[in-house]
């Protein structure tokens, strides 16, 4: 069985696996409502909101589409694309309204002046990805929301790979709608997404959104702590247990752990002379849940990731679309441990040393940082 060190799906804690194996319950029972109540309470903490949270039986993309479609009563929306998932927001939004797609080179930072110009030219909403795992960059959510508020624009944020693993303060930052996926920093299996919605967002509600992804239906059932349609009950069992683990660890401690793991990977890479992929400006940051590294000369993607998988049973990610073969990505999210991080870096060092890409080890650099937690 492979050790998953990819940006989702993540390794499952044994408690979560056992939780999914329990007997089925009725989804209209008090028992299910109690599970729902706890999940919503904990998700609100992870989102940094006091407002509604709706859980959808569907992947993070379902949450993205629910967020866009349910609040698409706008003449035009600005969608920011500096990676694969920003591009996905563009593709989703184009089905519902006019889109001003602000496209930046994948891995480069967002130009906030371009965002402001787009909003000043009449966009009534903006959608962006907080943590772009395809390129390993953390986009400036707070600054984007601040600009949007100058133009009274709706703010929709993909927090699929940041909520539960990095700082997200939806209410404080002025985010109106935010999305998370179960299989990322929350540490649960794939198949659920959650959408957090404040009261202002309903001013943009479009009743002609897809039936299953109509967040008004979820809102109406939320007073009874129910979902409008049959939920994936075993995945709710898993999410319930995953959120218990987060509560036990403490959200601040969990965020610190994610940041420390990512820092250890980054500093290890830099110490070996490897080059990080994202291009930062004064507002953007390196992702704290996945590290994207340029593929060094002298080795192919197949040789690096293939050997790591075949010999060490460790799975890391490559680049997507036009970045295939040009970068590799190490996920540091969910319930992984120091041992998992060190095993991954040690395996990579062995592969790189055999190809004469590196000489000395940098594991001591990573270990010094990991000792911080």
Q: Does residue 205 sit in the same domain as residue 310? A: no
CATH number for the domain that contains residue 221: 3.40.640.10
Model-level pTM?
0.97
Residue with tokens 């591009």: 87
Q: Does residue 144 sit in the same domain as residue 276? A: no
Q: In this structure, are residues 326 and 171 in contact, taking their beta carbons and an 8 Å threshold? A: no
Q: Does residue 126 sit in the same domain as residue 152? A: yes
Residue with tokens 């600054």: 143
Q: Does residue 181 sit in the same domain as residue 297? A: no
Q: What is the predicted pLDDT for the residue at 121?
A: 97
- pLDDT in 10s for each residue of the chain, 373 residues: 999 999 999 999 999 999 999 999 999 999 999 999 999 999 999 999 999 999 999 999 999 999 999 999 999 999 999 999 999 999 999 999 999 999 999 999 999 999 999 999 999 999 999 999 999 999 999 999 999 999 999 999 999 999 999 999 999 999 999 999 999 999 999 999 999 999 999 999 999 999 999 999 999 999 999 999 999 999 999 999 999 999 999 999 999 999 999 999 999 999 999 999 999 999 999 999 999 999 999 999 999 999 999 999 999 999 999 999 999 999 999 999 999 999 999 999 999 999 999 999 999 999 999 998 8
CATH number for the domain that contains residue 333: 3.90.1150.10
Q: 1 in a domain, yes or no?
A: no
Domain of 21, in residue numbers: 14-249
Q: Does residue 182 sit in the same domain as residue 233? A: yes
Number of domains in the chain: 2
Q: Does residue 158 sit in the same domain as residue 117? A: yes
> Beta partners for 314?
3
User: CA-based diameter of the chain, in Å?
Assistant: 62
Q: Does residue 156 sit in the same domain as residue 213? A: yes
Q: In this structure, are residues 280 and 266 in contact, taking their beta carbons and an 8 Å threshold? A: no
Instruction: Please identify, among 222, 249, 276, the residue that sits at the C-terminal boundary of a domain.
Output: 249
Helix locations, the chain, DSSP H: 14-20, 30-47, 60-70, 84-93, 112-120, 141-150, 170-173, 215-222, 233-249, 251-271, 301, 307-312, 338-354, 363-370
Q: 350 in a domain, yes or no?
A: yes
């Amino acid at each position: 069985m492979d050790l998953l060190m990819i940006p989702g799906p993540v390794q499952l804690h044994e408690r979560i696996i056992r939780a999914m194996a329990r007997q089925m319950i009725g989804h209209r029972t008090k028992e299910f409502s109690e599970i729902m109540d706890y999940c919503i309470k904990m998700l609100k903490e992870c989102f940094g909101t006091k407002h509604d949270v709706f859980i959808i039986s569907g992947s993070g993309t379902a949450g993205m589409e629910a967020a866009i479609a349910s609040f698409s009563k706008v003449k035009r929306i600005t969608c920011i694309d500096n990676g694969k998932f920003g591009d996905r927001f563009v593709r989703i939004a184009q089905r519902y309204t006019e889109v001003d797609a602000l496209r930046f080179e994948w891995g480069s930072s967002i130009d906030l002046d371009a965002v402001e110009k787009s909003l000043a030219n009449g966009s009534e909403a903006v959608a962006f990805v907080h943590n772009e795992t395809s390129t390993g960059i953390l986009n400036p959510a707070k600054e984007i929301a601040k600009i949007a508020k100058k133009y009274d624009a709706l703010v929709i944020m993909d927090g699929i790979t940041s909520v539960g693993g990095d700082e997200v303060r939806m209410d404080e930052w002025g985010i109106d709608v935010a999305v998370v996926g179960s299989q990322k920093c929350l540490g649960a299996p794939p198949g659920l997404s959650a959408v957090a919605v404040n009261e202002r967002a309903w001013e943009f509600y479009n009743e002609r959104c897809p039936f299953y992804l109509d967040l008004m239906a979820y809102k109406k059932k939320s007073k009874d702590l129910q979902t409008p349609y049959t939920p994936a009950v075993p995945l709710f069992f898993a999410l319930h247990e995953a959120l218990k683990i987060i509560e036990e660890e403490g959200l601040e401690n969990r965020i610190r752990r994610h940041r420390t793991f990512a820092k250890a990977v980054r500093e290890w890479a830099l110490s070996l002379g490897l080059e990080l992929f994202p291009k930062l400006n004064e507002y953007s940051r390196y992702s704290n849940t996945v590290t994207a590294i340029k593929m060094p000369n002298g080795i192919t993607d197949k040789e690096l990731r293939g050997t790591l998988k075949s010999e060490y049973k460790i799975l890391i990610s490559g680049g997507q679309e036009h970045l295939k073969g040009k970068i590799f990505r190490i996920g540091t999210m969910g319930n992984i441990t120091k041992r998992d991080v060190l095993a991954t870096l040690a395996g990579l060092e062995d592969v790189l040393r055999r190809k004469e890409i590196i000489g000395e080890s940098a594991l001591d650099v990573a270990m010094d940082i990991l000792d911080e937690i």
